[in-house]
């Protein structure tokens, strides 16, 4: 994550991951979640914060998840049910549950089916926001599998040359195992950047960079500037000249493989809540897993050892900075904005939940 989104060191409050995990679990439970679902949901959020993906960590509870649970916009105790099951392909109704709670078992099911069929795909419809896509893709690594996850994000993006919000943010997470090197773990919105990062930017008083957002009339902001009122997100690439048509294509691809595939319409015509797609490839069904991981090691090492551009000190690939953040934060705690910590203390007090902050 770019430095402009990070909490400044001089105000950051360092919290041990387990202390925040306990706090979040207790708050979810106080809002009506069963113990297993509360713990599962907290695990998804802590994964994101530990890996430096603050846009999808516990700050999403302030107040999004808490508000949804209090108002009954999401089901605190969902009972997902299988709608279709052909063996390698399964469709599940998430019963209006929070994606954090219902999505992890769905990825586990995709992995289980891939063990039998070579590939497992599970689509979960009628389930709210599920956090960081990488969390689910990462689950496949321990099984010598490739994991992919994607989800319908908010319809906040204007298409190329457009002046209306027509496209979902629609992130994709991909993970591939290695033996020695850091695993390849990619997680990104198919918009110019995750919309939640605008929230982080506003929290620390930062500016948007060229090509990130459009003004309310659809004109792209092509200079560093404060976040404009009524902004719309731009596709990955920003403008047509910089490849925004590719971002549009990828956003539509995710729409096709999630809500459209589940029979729920697309974009501004979606019916129901979010839809998530979980895919696992059993490498041994295609080649030899040991050889695959050895080749991944060689490929990754070749990238790391390649020549940096002038003014740069190293070359990296997706997963490197997150692994470094994880090591540092497990040792020193997760840096939170004081406002986030204060919000959690008050939210726990209001809900009668014990916190560890």
- Over residues 282-301, the pLDDT tens digits come to 999 999 999 999 999 999 99
Kind plus residue range of the DSSP H or E element containing 348: helix 338-351
Q: Supply the pLDDT for residue 347.
A: 96
**Does the pLDDT value for residue 203 go beyond 90?**
no
10 pLDDT more than 90: yes
Cα–Cα distances in Å, from 39 out to 19, 111, 231, 257, 329?
13, 21, 35, 29, 20
Global pTM value: 0.94
Mapping DSSP to helix (H, G, I), strand (E, B) and coil, where does residue 156 land?
strand
Q: 166 pLDDT band (50/70/90 cuts)? A: very high
- pLDDT tens per residue across span 260-283: 999 999 999 999 889 999 999 999
How sure is the predictor about 202, in pLDDT bands with cuts at 50, 70 and 90?
confident
Q: What is the pLDDT of residues 92-119, one digit of tens each?
A: 999 999 999 999 999 999 999 999 999 9
Residue 309, both tokens? 């551009």
- pLDDT band for position 55 (50/70/90)? confident
To the nearest 10°, report the CA torsion of 175, 261, 129, 176. Answer: 0
Helix, strand, or coil (residue 155): strand
Average pLDDT over all residues of the chain: 95
pLDDT of residue 79: 97
pLDDT of residue 22: 98
Assess whether pLDDT exceeds 80 at residue 2. no
* 3-state SS assignment for residue 160: coil
Backbone φ and ψ for 298, nearest 5 degrees, come out as -65, -45
Spatial neighbors of 295 by CB under 8 A, at least 6 apart, are none
Q: What is the mean pLDDT of residues 19-31?
A: 98
If phi > 0 it is left, if psi is from -120 to 50 it is alpha, else beta; for residue 304 that is alpha
Confidence of residue 3 (pLDDT cuts 50, 70, 90): confident
- Where does the pLDDT of residue 233 fall: very low under 50, low under 70, confident under 90, or very high at 90 and above? very high
Does domain 3-351 sit in CATH 3.30.1370.60? yes
Contacts of 31 (CB under 8 A, 6+ apart): 66, 69, 70, 76, 351
- Does the pLDDT at position 195 exceed 90? no
- What is the average per-residue pLDDT within 36-57? 96
Q: What is the pLDDT of residue 175?
A: 98
The C-alpha atoms of residue 126 and residue 353 are separated, in whole angstroms, by 28
- What does the pLDDT read at residue 197? 83
* DSSP H/E element including 32: none
Gap between the Cα atoms of 44 and 21, Å rounded: 10
26 pLDDT higher than 90: yes
Residue 4 pLDDT greater than 80, yes or no: no
Cα 11 to Cα 21, 245, 337, distances in angstroms:
21, 40, 7
Confidence of residue 341 (pLDDT cuts 50, 70, 90): very high
């Amino acid at each position: 994550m770019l430095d402009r989104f990070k909490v400044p060191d001089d105000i950051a409050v360092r919290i041990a991951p387990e202390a925040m995990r306990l706090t979040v679990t207790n708050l979810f439970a106080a809002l009506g979640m069963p113990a297993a679902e509360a713990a599962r949901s907290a695990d998804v959020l802590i994964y994101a914060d530990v890996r430096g993906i603050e846009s999808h960590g516990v700050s999403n509870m302030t107040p999004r998840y808490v508000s949804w649970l209090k108002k009954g916009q999401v089901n605190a105790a969902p009972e997902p049910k299988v709608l279709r099951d052909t063996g390698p392909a399964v469709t599940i109704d998430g019963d209006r549950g929070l994606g954090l709670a219902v999505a992890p078992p769905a990825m586990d099911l995709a992995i289980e089916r891939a063990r039998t069929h070579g590939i497992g795909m599970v689509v979960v419809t009628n389930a709210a926001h599920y956090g960081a896509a990488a969390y689910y893709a990462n689950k496949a690594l321990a099984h010598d599998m490739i994991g992919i996850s994607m989800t319908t994000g908010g319809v906040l993006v204007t298409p190329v040359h457009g002046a209306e919000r027509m496209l979902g943010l629609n992130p994709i997470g991909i993970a591939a195992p290695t033996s020695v090197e850091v695993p390849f773990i990619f997680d990104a919105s198919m918009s110019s950047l995750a919309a939640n990062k605008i929230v982080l930017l506003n929290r620390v008083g930062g500016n948007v960079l060229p090509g990130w957002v459009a003004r309310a009339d659809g004109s792209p902001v092509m200079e560093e500037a404060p976040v404009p009122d009524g902004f719309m997100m731009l596709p990955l690439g920003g403008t047509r000249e910089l490849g925004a048509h590719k971002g549009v294509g990828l956003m539509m691809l995710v729409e096709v493989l999630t809500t459209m595939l589940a029979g729920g319409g697309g974009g501004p015509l979606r019916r129901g809540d979010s839809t998530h797609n979980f895919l696992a490839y059993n490498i041994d069904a295609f080649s030899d897993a040991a050889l695959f991981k050895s080749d991944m090691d060689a490929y990754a090492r070749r990238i790391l050892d390649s020549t940096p551009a002038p003014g740069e000190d190293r070359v990296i690939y997706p997963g490197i900075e997150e692994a470094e953040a994880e090591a540092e934060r497990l040792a020193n705690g997760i840096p939170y904005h004081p406002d986030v910590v204060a919000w959690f203390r008050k939210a726990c007090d209001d809900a009668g939940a014990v916190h560890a902050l």
